[in-house]
Chains A and B, each alone.
Chain A
């Protein structure tokens, strides 16, 4: 494999890792507050449809982005009401919302555009277009690093850079702010937060809302940056891969970045079976490459690659004890 192929693969790694990263960071906030969320998939899907549709209708990708965040927030709110207010089963709520999103997105898109549940292709101002970073052109001819900077680092949409910037930001919020302290506390021992005079319900809703916003970004990226428009079931399990990455990263922001880049790399490889074959000299079936993130996650869950210990109060509704 030559250097330019490698750069191509790294470039698509970054593109494909971005929705995973946004969704995974979104899940981080919810789960660190003690609310499990397997509904990342549904929220992404809803956001993708809403952003694709609004971006097409308004011609503005920013309005599309807002709509995506809005749609994702609605689903987050339902999850919050079910699992925080009514102390329902968080896993079941997540499953329900994934189905609801899978059906509703097609229904609404079909109603709006009558194109078999997809939005029409979007372009121009209705999409997030690649941004060329400063000096990318100028440095292009510097050996090794020049092409790396030009091909891999530069030339992505704004959301890619936003996603990466969110990693240190999330770390800072969690570890250096009052909100972060309380959020981590409520995921470990909600009774401690409650008796300290802080609202458990309020904190958890705040966390779920952050999840909604970030998942909205992830979905909007799918429809307005990675692809040009919404298509039926376009997230194709990315919400679950993001969840897997979150577990892989043991619920820590910086590790989430590495996990998502790794899974993004697998997805990039699945797009280039020819390269894989050339490198390892064996024909690898594409389905195997598709299944690789899932297989790896199973190995992680099985503790063969480090043990994942979730937040102590995760998945348990908070009830004041008698």
Chain B
């Protein structure tokens, strides 16, 4: 491969955040006019590497060659000048600006806005014609759907005349249909001679869309191969470093009587927008109901309403008793007393107080438990610490130091602390959202086993995950959520990713009302 055919070449890139070595001596070469995938688990260092390429972080060591020339990229301005554009996982858009204003921000022509805006309007028209990137230039960002927001981000990069486009986990928030549209756009860009770098942890996307793929594991570059010459199994093995057990071992469920009955549950958010538009389902004892869906379709609101974090309307009964959905008795404390445990989707925001020690976090939500009280006035911190040590040992939390603040544990160990706290309360119903997000493989297997074990004790479990694989392997029944509604129920044995994907895009009609209840 001749030098001048490379769009990007990185040599010996290293970057550390404090004690964490995010990138170790990374080498990678990306040929011009190709779609290059970078795959790896959460925390493998993909995003860090690309942020270095975009000048968002500075590398501790290493060299960057753009188009064969050694290029210093100390800031994003330099990256943009070098023809690099980036679409971040979390969009960097100003909410109360129009599309046009967002596009020109930082790339204005001259100190007055009028000329920049009219020029950008023309350029945008051309770009949306060429690449299927149609968005209303005068729409406010806060009014657009995620699919459109992503197009705005791509337009921003193209407006800056980027030749190399980096996309970080672009499909995490898209429906399969929107994702297809995105890949069509990327193919179009490639045909125009642009280079695309696609960061993802989804094997399917790599296989479908890329020409070459590089695999990262724990901050190092493990391999770069032609996509056509590899297989998903081989890539998975490279990602994890050993053979992966994608199947979860479990016995068939033996559902008992109905534990949770939800009828016409509706939730409005703070802006009075209806997020949950009448959801009904049941969960039986000894059963896992998995809720599949693209993030942002009402799953978070479902968990929040059941967990007592958001007010709702409708009817929810737990073991025959009505649960209040607003006002008195609808808070998290009452829910816990009623026998609902809740592992929240976002442990950093909800599940833990990061500055609190492990033992203080074990009382989080359960500070009123009689076993943690010394008398009417004071808490029994010694008892709490003993209890924490026991839980840390049982769930193999490392390091097993109950005085350590939660923020000092790794993602997997933090999640184990939350899971231990919630499961050890012996709940009737467990709400568990994204149980393995940002968790290492070892901890994933452990947490999955614990969930199955709880089910086998005859508890009801509501599992919400955006990882379709997790939903398919864990659930006894699957419901798909789209736009605040359940699209239908499926038996995991009788469905496949294609069908679920269609439902997640809101395409499939109802086939059965209540799974086996129908």
Contact = CB atoms under 8 A, between A and B. Distances in A.
Touching in the complex, A and B, CB below 8 A?
A: yes
Contact of A197 (B57, B76, B113, B116): B76
Given A178-B116, A188-B94, A195 B108 contact: no
B76 A196 contact: yes
A195 B56 contact: yes
Contacts of B96: 188
B108 A197 contact: no
Nearest to A309: B96
Contacts of B28: none
Judged by DSSP, the binding face of A is helix
Contact of A189 (B79, B86, B95, B106): B95
Nearest to A188: B94
A320 B114 contact: no
Contacts of A182: 105-106
Nearest to A197: B77
Given A193-B105, A196-B76, A197-B80, A320 B56 contact: yes
Contacts of B107: 196-197
Contacts, number: 75
B82 to A, nearest CB: 11
B113 A177 contact: yes
B101 interface: yes
Residue in B17, B79, B94 with the greatest tally of chain A CB atoms within 10 Å: B94
Interface string B63-86: 000000000000111011000001
Contact of A178 (B92, B94, B113): B113
Interface string B5-21: 00000000000010000
Contact of B92 (A176, A179, A184, A189): A189
A57 to B, nearest CB: 39
B111 A178 contact: yes
B108 A178 contact: yes
Central interface residue in B95, B104, B106, B114, by most chain A CB within 10 Å: B106
A318 to B, nearest CB: 12
Given A188-B94, A192-B102, A322-B17, A177 B76 contact: no
B112 interface: yes
Interface in A226-284: none
Interface of A: 176-182, 184-185, 188-189, 191-199, 312, 320-322
Interface of B: 17, 54, 56-57, 75-77, 79-80, 86, 88, 90, 92-97, 101-102, 104-108, 110-114, 116, 156
Given A185-B97, A196-B105, A198-B77, 8 more contacts: A176-B112, A178-B108, A182-B106, A184-B97, A185-B94, A194-B92, A195-B54, A321-B90
28 contacts: A176-B113, A176-B114, A177-B112, A177-B113, A178-B111, A179-B111, A181-B105, A181-B113, A182-B106, A184-B94, A184-B97, A185-B97, A188-B97, A191-B90, A192-B92, A192-B102, A194-B92, A195-B56, A195-B76, A195-B86, A195-B88, A196-B80, A196-B92, A196-B106, A197-B75, A197-B76, A197-B107, A322-B17
